[in-house]
Amino acid sequence: MIYIATVHWLDATWVDIQLDYFARHLGSSPYRVYAFLNGIEPEKYRQRIYYIDTAPIVAHTAKLNLLAEKICADGEPEDIIYFIDGDAFPVGDIQGYVQEKLRQVPLVAVQRLENEGDPQPHPSFCATTVKFWREINGDWGQGPHWQTRDGRTRTDTGGLLWAKLKEKGIDWAPMLRSNRVNLHPLWFGLYQDLIYHHGAAFRTPYCMVDIRNARQIWWKKRLMNIADSRLGTIRGGWLQNAVYSFVMKKQIQKSLQDSREIIMDIRNNPDFARRFTGE
């Protein structure tokens, strides 16, 4: 049995999309969906989702951990758990891939190196067994910090799981971004050509990569201002801040526009992922 743990927040857009792609790509395997549906009418989905929780919990990590606890109580040791973000779903034979990898290592997960080098397993997709999750007392908490590619310190969901695996010397199989066509460095991602993760579907779409790019443009403009003494420091500071704000707003607007167009394609074209493979 495959147990799927997923979380949806204040927007039902992705519930039917995700369930349809589960049915399309997991149809030959028995599976049950366990979901948090916060701010979403649950009755519509009782026939398609095995377990629904609507508790008013905000923290994404807490909801994942609660779903895992419920699954571990219901499942058998060799049953498989899929953790998957609400705006992610399979676009290929993910079960065949997972079965092969779990014969080699006890956990397989997306690793978003493109997010300034994030090293940890990410819950946009992660697969393991009930037995292993129990053994390591699995936890999606943020946990220890690491350095980004530009030297800043950060942590995120999956940090504690990453630390547990490192501490115990346990290898895991990372699923890396496989896009040949990128509309954005982080959003709209394919992983091993098997999992699609839209990214930021339940919040304003900006990320560290956007901030870095905006800062680079900001610094270029600042250097131009320093070189041009006619602008002066007051006018220069105002202009630098305006450039930074403008770049961020333009990037967010583009991501929202791309998102709306891709969602239409996801709904109407089961082979939409080919747009990212260059086929």
> Position of tokens 């997923």?
6
DSSP annotation of 177: B
Nearest to 120 by CA among 73, 175, 38: 175
User: What sign does the CA torsion over 141, 102, 29, 278 have?
Assistant: positive
- DSSP SS3 for 168: helix
Q: Please measure the distance between the N-terminal and C-terminal CA atoms of the chain and give it in whole angstroms.
A: 34
Query: At the top level of CATH, which class does the domain 2-205 belong to?
Result: alpha beta
Predicted confidence at residue 241, as pLDDT, reads: 58
Predicted confidence at residue 214, as pLDDT, reads: 67
Predicted confidence at residue 251, as pLDDT, reads: 85
Cα–Cα distance between 71 and 68 in angstroms, integer?
A: 5
Residue 220: C-alpha distances to residues 120, 148, 216 (Å) = 32, 22, 6
Backbone angles phi, psi at 90, to 5 degrees: -75, 145
pLDDT along the chain (279 residues), means of 10: 97 97 93 98 97 97 98 98 98 97 98 96 98 98 90 93 97 98 96 97 84 62 43 46 68 92 97 93
Cα–Cα distance between 230 and 226 in angstroms, integer?
A: 9
Looking at the chain, the number of H-run helices and the number of E-run strands are: 8, 12
- DSSP SS3 for 110: strand
Predicted confidence at residue 114, as pLDDT, reads: 96
Distance of alpha carbon 229 from its chain centroid, rounded?
A: 46
Cα–Cα distance between 53 and 168 in angstroms, integer?
A: 32
Predicted confidence at residue 270, as pLDDT, reads: 95
Residues 175 and 192: beta-carbon distance below 8 Å: yes
Residues 189 and 88: beta-carbon distance below 8 Å: no
Cα–Cα distance between 120 and 162 in angstroms, integer?
A: 5
The full set of domain ranges for the chain reads 2-205
Cα–Cα distance between 126 and 5 in angstroms, integer?
A: 10
Secondary element (H or E) of residue 80: strand 80-85
Predicted confidence at residue 243, as pLDDT, reads: 55
**Is 195 buried (19+), middle (13-18) or exposed (0-12) by CB count in 10 A?**
buried
